[in-house]
């Protein structure tokens, strides 16, 4: 998000899934385990390879399933993505494959950028990344000469201390090759949660109101002060990764948490539990008694997606309807109604009273009323309505007015910030790298059969039947050295904690790397992960930390 | 380039390269099919779409026969109808007579065709079952090869939609059967349990275990909605009976995904009615009784309360925190699982009602 905003002025997936599947001639998937994390888009990529012969290059430290469909697998060492992409761009420049018209007409900062990239010749990059020189040449050739080429990534790129720089470097690559603003190209970060795009669009962020109107910009602030009828704070708030530790720093005294489970999903779970334990008051609005609920003072029963109406915005900025299938169970209430009731109680109590706001009240009868207010204050959603969605219109923001057909591809002819900005970027090693005490590297993520903290999928009978406990992936050579066999119990220890889980000996992971998930609280990878943050986006480095691995016991012993 | 042809004495125009089936359907002439599906490669193997083409000695499969200029086609001649009836009779002769108890009765394409063509189970048909019903241990996909008509849609759905190639065809003639891998279980054959094969199966050979026996097509209400797992934004129908979600089925009109879904979207819905659901507001005893916060003994027990009590206690606590420590001492975490409308309200709640920009969600995690 922050990375693309710097490069282009707008931080969202630039293209649509169907145009990538239908028009790309080459695709670079880097740091996305698409077939497990965005499975249906993963099948679209498989179909593109099979039906149209798209040249797929996968860059991932692990041999993920999508590698079976790739012409080339670049198995870079974790945390070396900047060097890898700089290396590919170095070759593009060496061969003269850059799109000079695009660079001249639509970008700035090319000279500084070129200077930096020239310091990453293939042999140096091969040494940093572990990717052989000939593979670098082959990848550069495919990605540069097959046009349009789409870049797709996910958390494998962003969950590093250099996450923002990683993203900006992929923006560099696409500007260099002139792949922006056309079908089958673009920069395509896949958003994880069903409505993470919408939560960002709606101002669920400490620095922006809806539609990324910045809270420190006096004009934006005045707009929302006029709408809501109260003076608004002028400084950026805390991120989730600052808020929770803020409890022990005496900054945060109360937390209102809607449907999130920081005790499972945040890094360094041990520390998170200490923080949640120390907060004066925690109100949690949830559907299940999650790990976080142990620390809650009040538990408000919200509902699942089947019990309410509203809209979700998918990874390609497409707004879609959520329709109520059943009445809320028990005494649970739709979440919009709970927030509304709580707001009305607080406003009635008096201390902070809106005066004359155009949208100050909380008299919502239906989610459609709320969407009308959103449209009035959110320029990119202005033309969206339930009526248009019910008609089946394809509405991808920006949709500036009710006659506008939506915007399936961003950055056609012009970037949001005018010209695209090349950024010279240097390789920086991860915050914690293996040493004598913690000699192996841990990377983390999710598996096909479970979702995030697992509070939904562990309660799904069939999903649990197929995948019922955490498995830690270990390379066969490492396993041999450690005396580990399939199904052995192993212990993984980092400077922050330890977990025990079952070993899965597999060449999906390279030598020296183990991979674990955080779906099961008893053996969650987040007991181990490091809360080292990207300095700009405050994303934790989930993908790299140093660990020690040892055998606990074999099943037969 | 357009081609002129005559179908059932009606002159029509169609695009060169189209099949008889495509040309007919575009002109509102219905030719029945069974193995054909518009998303999958046509194979012409069920012989239900046979039509009579002037000048051709044998009947032709409409789904694989390209149109030609001046072609004359009969889709309902006595010879065509006779052929379809015979084919259906052959299928029914090798099909269990269990429509009364079959889960997909009412949405079975074989049943519909038998009804349309008034074909009964022949007296000379096979007796008993040839395969073990419910023969695969996959937790989601129920396999009953007795009901299979060898149309191969499952094979094609797995290969062409999912790109996984789990299903294949083994043996020949009367012994021919659909098998997973080299005759293994689905999971051993690297099945991802997406259920695409179930969605495309025209009969009850492949059905869903999670809602097997819970309701038939006419007993459920279908509500199209958007999946709540990942950011792809697939849409599907929730199958509702009473006030209960009993299943998910593909909705071919889904704009992003069509018929395709993944294992979580299609089969990961049963958490909705899980007994662990929090269904009553609850507060810690110390709070209800107005005492100092204590995490020990019965003071920290949950007490179920009504909404008014829970919300008033919450509003009071948030207000007093703000008075004592300022608005920035309160943090709000909104949810990427909730709707746009709810996220907008959380943003308004933090900024307008509380007066802080301390709002975030798990986008970074």
Interface size A-B, in CB pairs within 8 Å, comes to 463
Closest CA relative to residue B332, chosen from A412, A204, A527:
A204
Mutate to test the interface with B, among A258, A368, A392 (most CBs of B within 10 A): A258
Q: ipTM of the assembly?
A: 0.95
Q: What pLDDT score was predicted for residue A407?
A: 96
**Average pLDDT of span B257-274:** 96
Confidence band of A268 (pLDDT split at 50, 70, 90): confident
Residue A174: pLDDT over 60: yes
Residue B109: pLDDT over 90: yes
A400, A392 in Cβ contact below 8 A?
A: no
Contact assignment for A205 to B274 by CB distance below 8 Å = no
Distance from CA of A100 to the nearest CA of B (A): 34
For residue A43, give every residue at least 6 positions away whose Cβ sits within 8 Å of its Cβ, in sequence order, or none: A35, B161, B162, B163, B194, B260
Distance from CA of B192 to the nearest CA of A (A): 8
Residue A557: pLDDT over 60: no
Q: Is the sign of the CA dihedral A520, A525, A531, A535 positive or negative?
A: negative
Contact assignment for A297 to B333 by CB distance below 8 Å = no
* Cα-Cα end-to-end distance for chain A: 50
Q: What is the dihedral of CA A281, A287, A291, A294, to 10 degrees?
A: 40
CB-CB: which of B194, B341, B362 is closest to A260? B362
| Cα separation, A520 vs A241, whole angstroms | 21
- What are the chain A neighbours of B200 within 8 Å (beta carbons)? none
Confidence band of A556 (pLDDT split at 50, 70, 90): low
Residue A280: pLDDT over 80: yes
Question: Three-state DSSP class for A125?
Answer: helix
Contact assignment for A463 to B267 by CB distance below 8 Å = yes
Mutate to test the interface with A, among B342, B350, B354, B355 (most CBs of A within 10 A): B342
CB-CB: which of B227, B306, B334 is closest to A199? B334
**Average pLDDT of span A359-365:** 96
Question: Three-state DSSP class for A533?
Answer: strand
Q: What pLDDT score was predicted for residue B129?
A: 82
CB-CB: which of A39, A342, A448 is closest to B314? A342
Q: Which chain B residue is nearest to residue A345, measuring alpha carbons?
A: B315
Distance from CA of A127 to the nearest CA of B (A): 30
Distance from CA of B181 to the nearest CA of A (A): 17
**Average pLDDT of span A287-299:** 95
Residue A107: pLDDT over 90: yes
Q: What is the DSSP letter of A76?
A: P
CB-CB: which of A43, A370, A459 is closest to B344? A370
**Residues B50-101 pLDDT 10s:** 999 999 999 999 999 999 999 999 999 999 999 999 999 999 998 988 899 9
Mutate to test the interface with B, among A15, A297, A386 (most CBs of B within 10 A): A297
Instruction: Match domain A440-553 to its CATH number in 2.40.30.20, 2.40.40.20, 1.10.1060.10, 3.40.640.10.
Output: 2.40.40.20
> What would be the CATH architecture of the domain defined by B124-273?
2-Layer Sandwich (3.30)
**Residues A223-259 pLDDT 10s:** 999 999 999 999 999 999 899 999 999 999 999 999 9
- What are the chain A neighbours of B273 within 8 Å (beta carbons)? 329
CB-CB: which of A39, A210, A310 is closest to B339? A310
A398: preceding bond cis by omega (within 30 degrees): yes
Mutate to test the interface with B, among A280, A286, A312, A391 (most CBs of B within 10 A): A312
**Average pLDDT of span A341-366:** 93
A381, A397 in Cβ contact below 8 A?
A: yes
**Residues B284-343 pLDDT 10s:** 999 999 999 999 889 999 999 999 999 999 999 999 999 999 999 999 999 999 999 999
Confidence band of A267 (pLDDT split at 50, 70, 90): confident
- What are the chain B neighbours of A318 within 8 Å (beta carbons)? 233, 255-256
Q: Which chain A residue is nearest to residue B242, measuring alpha carbons?
A: A326
Closest CA relative to residue A508, chosen from A31, A42, A61:
A61
Residue B183: pLDDT over 70: yes
Tell me whether strands A55-59 and A26-30 are parallel, antiparallel or unpaired. Answer: parallel
Contact assignment for B230 to A198 by CB distance below 8 Å = no
Mutate to test the interface with A, among B158, B224, B226 (most CBs of A within 10 A): B226
A417, A425 in Cβ contact below 8 A?
A: no
Q: What pLDDT score was predicted for residue B124?
A: 85
Confidence band of A69 (pLDDT split at 50, 70, 90): very high
Mutate to test the interface with B, among A44, A160, A163, A194 (most CBs of B within 10 A): A194
- What are the chain B neighbours of A540 within 8 Å (beta carbons)? 364-365
**pTM of the complete model:** 0.95
The domains of chain A are located at: 2-190, 196-390, 440-553
Contact assignment for A299 to B209 by CB distance below 8 Å = no
Q: What pLDDT score was predicted for residue B77?
A: 96
- Is CATH 3.40.228.10 the classification given to domain A2-190? yes
The domains of chain B are located at: 2-76, 124-273, 282-364
Contact assignment for A342 to B234 by CB distance below 8 Å = no
Contact assignment for A305 to B293 by CB distance below 8 Å = no
**Average pLDDT of span A53-67:** 97
| Cα separation, A101 vs A94, whole angstroms | 17
Residue A328: pLDDT over 80: yes
Q: Which chain B residue is nearest to residue A249, measuring alpha carbons?
A: B329
Residue carrying structure tokens 């002129």: B4
**Average pLDDT of span A275-283:** 96
- What are the chain A neighbours of B165 within 8 Å (beta carbons)? none
Contact assignment for B240 to A347 by CB distance below 8 Å = no
| Cα separation, A351 vs B315, whole angstroms | 12
B256, A318 in Cβ contact below 8 A?
A: yes
Q: What pLDDT score was predicted for residue A555?
A: 67
Q: Which chain B residue is nearest to residue A458, measuring alpha carbons?
A: B271
| Cα separation, A228 vs A71, whole angstroms | 55
**Residues A440-453 pLDDT 10s:** 999 999 999 998 88
Cα distances (Å, whole numbers) of residue B66 to A308, B8, B25, B83: 49, 17, 14, 21
Q: Which chain A residue is nearest to residue B233, measuring alpha carbons?
A: A314
Contact assignment for B193 to A466 by CB distance below 8 Å = yes
Give me chain A's average pLDDT, please. 94
Contact assignment for A194 to B210 by CB distance below 8 Å = no
CB-CB: which of A209, A241, A466 is closest to B364? A241
What share of chain A in percent tops pLDDT 70?
99
Q: Which chain B residue is nearest to residue A338, measuring alpha carbons?
A: B311
Give me chain B's average pLDDT, please. 95
Contact assignment for B357 to A206 by CB distance below 8 Å = yes
Residue A467: pLDDT over 80: yes
Query: Phi and psi (nearest 5°) for B315?
Result: -60, -40
Geometric angle at alpha carbon B278, from B275 and B282, rounded to 5°: 140
| Cα separation, A381 vs A197, whole angstroms | 13
Instruction: Match domain A196-390 to its CATH number in 3.40.50.170, 3.40.50.2300, 3.40.50.10160, 3.40.50.740.
Output: 3.40.50.740
CB-CB: which of A196, A255, A298 is closest to B313? A298
- What are the chain A neighbours of B233 within 8 Å (beta carbons)? 194, 312-316, 318, 320
Contact assignment for A360 to B245 by CB distance below 8 Å = no
Contact assignment for A204 to B334 by CB distance below 8 Å = yes
Contact assignment for A301 to B352 by CB distance below 8 Å = no
Q: Which chain B residue is nearest to residue A346, measuring alpha carbons?
A: B315
Residue B126: pLDDT over 80: no
Q: What pLDDT score was predicted for residue A350?
A: 75
CB-CB: which of A37, A207, A210 is closest to B230? A37
Contact assignment for A283 to B192 by CB distance below 8 Å = no
Distance from CA of A36 to the nearest CA of B (A): 9
- Is CATH 3.10.20.740 the classification given to domain B2-76? yes
CB-CB: which of A204, A314, A323 is closest to B359? A204
Please count the residues of chain B: 365
Residue A8: pLDDT over 90: no
Distance from CA of A53 to the nearest CA of B (A): 13
Q: What pLDDT score was predicted for residue A534?
A: 86
Distance from CA of B206 to the nearest CA of A (A): 16
Contact assignment for A43 to B230 by CB distance below 8 Å = no
Contact assignment for B353 to A456 by CB distance below 8 Å = no
A163: preceding bond cis by omega (within 30 degrees): no
Closest CA relative to residue A298, chosen from A346, A352, A258:
A258
Tell me whether strands B302-304 and A310-313 are parallel, antiparallel or unpaired. Answer: unpaired
Helix H segments across chain B?
20-26, 78-93, 109-116, 153-156, 196-200, 263-267, 285-288, 307-325, 340-348
| Cα separation, B58 vs B247, whole angstroms | 44
């Amino acid at each position: 998000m922050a990375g693309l905003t710097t490069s282009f002025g707008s931080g969202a997936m630039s293209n649509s899934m169907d145009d990538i599947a239908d028009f790309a001639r080459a695709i670079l998937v880097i740091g996305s385990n698409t077939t497990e994390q965005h499975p249906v888009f993963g099948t679209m990529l498989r179909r593109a390879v099979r039906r149209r012969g798209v040249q797929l290059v996968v860059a991932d430290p692990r041999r993920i399933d999508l590698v079976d469909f790739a012409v080339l697998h670049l198995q870079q060492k974790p945390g070396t993505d900047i060097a890898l992409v700089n290396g590919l761009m170095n070759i593009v420049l060496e061969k003269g494959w850059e799109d000079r018209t695009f660079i001249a007409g639509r970008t700035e900062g090319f000279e500084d950028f070129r200077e930096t990239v020239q310091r990453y010749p293939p042999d140096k990059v091969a040494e940093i990344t572990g990717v052989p020189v000939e593979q670098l040449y082959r990848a550069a050739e495919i990605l540069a000469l097959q046009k349009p080429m789409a870049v797709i990534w996910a958390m494998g790129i962003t969950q590093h201390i250099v996450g923002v720089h990683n993203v900006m470097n992929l923006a560099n690559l696409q500007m260099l090759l002139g792949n922006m603003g056309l079908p089958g190209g673009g920069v395509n970060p896949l958003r994880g949660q069903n409505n993470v795009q919408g939560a960002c669009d709606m101002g669920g962020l400490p620095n922006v109101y809806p539609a990324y109107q910045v809270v420190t910009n006096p004009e934006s602030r005045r707009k929302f002060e006029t709408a809501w009828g109260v003076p608004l704070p002028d400084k950026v708030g805390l991120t989730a990764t600052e808020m929770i530790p803020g409890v022990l720093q005496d900054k945060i005294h109360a937390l209102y948490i809607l449907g999130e489970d920081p005790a499972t999903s945040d890094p360094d779970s041990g520390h998170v539990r200490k923080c949640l334990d120390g907060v004066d008051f925690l109100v949690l609005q949830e559907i299940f008694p999650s790990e976080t609920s142990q620390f809650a003072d009040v538990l408000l029963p919200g509902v699942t997606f089947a019990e309410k109406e509203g809209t979700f915005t998918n990874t390609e900025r497409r707004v879609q309807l959520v329709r109520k299938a059943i009445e809320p169970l028990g005494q649970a209430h739709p979440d919009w109604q709970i927030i509304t009731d709580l707001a009305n109680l607080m406003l009635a109590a008096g201390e902070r009273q809106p005066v004359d706001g155009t949208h100050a009240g909380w008299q919502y009868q239906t989610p459609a009323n709320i969407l009308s207010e959103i449209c009035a204050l959110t320029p990119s959603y202005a033309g969206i309505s339930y009526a248009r969605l019910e008609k089946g219109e394809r509405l991808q923001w920006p949709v500036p007015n009710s006659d506008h057909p939506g915007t399936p591809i961003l950055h056609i002819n012009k970037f949001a910030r005018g010209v695209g900005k090349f950024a010279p970027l240097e390789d920086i090693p991860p915050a914690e790298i293996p040493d004598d005490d913690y000699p192996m590297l841990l990377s983390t993520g999710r598996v096909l059969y479970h979702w995030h903290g697992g509070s939904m999928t562990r309660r799904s009978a069939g999903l649990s039947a197929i995948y019922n406990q955490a498995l830690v992936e270990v390379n066969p050579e490492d396993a041999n050295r450690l005396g580990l066999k399939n199904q052995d119990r192993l212990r993984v220890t980092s400077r922050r904690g330890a977990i025990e889980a079952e070993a899965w000996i597999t060449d999906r992971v390279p030598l020296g790397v183990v991979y674990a998930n955080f779906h099961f609280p008893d053996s969650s990878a987040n007991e181990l992960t490091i809360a080292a943050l990207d300095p700009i986006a405050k994303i934790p480095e989930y993908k790299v930390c140093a660990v020690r691995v040892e055998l606990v016991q074999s099943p037969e012993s | 380039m357009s081609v002129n042809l005559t179908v059932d004495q009606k002159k029509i125009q169609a695009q060169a390269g189209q099949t008889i089936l495509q040309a007919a359907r575009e002109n509102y002439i219905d030719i029945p099919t069974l193995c054909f599906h518009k998303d999958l490669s046509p194979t012409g193997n069920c012989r239900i779409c046979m039509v009579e083409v002037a000048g051709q000695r044998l009947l032709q499969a409409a789904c694989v026969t390209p149109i030609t200029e001046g072609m004359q086609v009969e889709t309902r001649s006595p010879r065509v109808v006779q052929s379809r009836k015979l084919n259906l009779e052959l299928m029914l002769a090798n099909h269990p007579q269990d429509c009364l108890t079959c889960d997909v009765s009412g949405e079975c394409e074989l049943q519909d065709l038998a009804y349309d063509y008034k074909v009964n189970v022949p007296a000379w048909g096979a007796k008993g079952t040839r395969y073990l019903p419910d023969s695969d241990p996959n937790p989601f996909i129920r396999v009953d090869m007795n009901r299979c008509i060898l149309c191969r849609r499952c094979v094609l759905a797995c290969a062409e939609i999912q790109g996984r190639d789990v299903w294949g065809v083994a043996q020949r003639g009367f012994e021919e059967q659909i098998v997973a891998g080299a005759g293994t279980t689905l999971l051993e054959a690297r099945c991802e349990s997406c259920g695409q094969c179930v969605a495309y199966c025209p009969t009850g050979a492949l059905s869903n275990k999670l809602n097997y026996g819970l309701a038939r097509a006419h007993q459920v209400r279908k509500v199209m909605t958007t999946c709540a797992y990942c950011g792809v934004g697939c849409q599907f129908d929730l199958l509702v009976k009473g006030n209960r979600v009993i299943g998910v089925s593909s909705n071919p009109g889904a704009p992003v995904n069509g018929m395709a879904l993944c294992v979580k979207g299609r089969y990961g819905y049963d958490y909705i009615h899980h007994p662990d659901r929090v269904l009553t507001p609850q507060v810690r005893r110390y709070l209800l009784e107005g005492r100092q916060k204590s995490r020990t003994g019965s003071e920290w027990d949950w007490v179920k309360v009504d909404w008014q009590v829970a919300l008033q206690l919450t509003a009071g606590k948030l207000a007093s925190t703000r008075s004592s420590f300022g608005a920035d001492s309160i943090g709000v975490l909104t949810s990427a699982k909730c709707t746009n409308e709810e996220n907008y309200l959380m943003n308004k709640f933090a900024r307008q009602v509380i007066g802080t920009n301390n709002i975030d969600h798990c986008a970074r995690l």
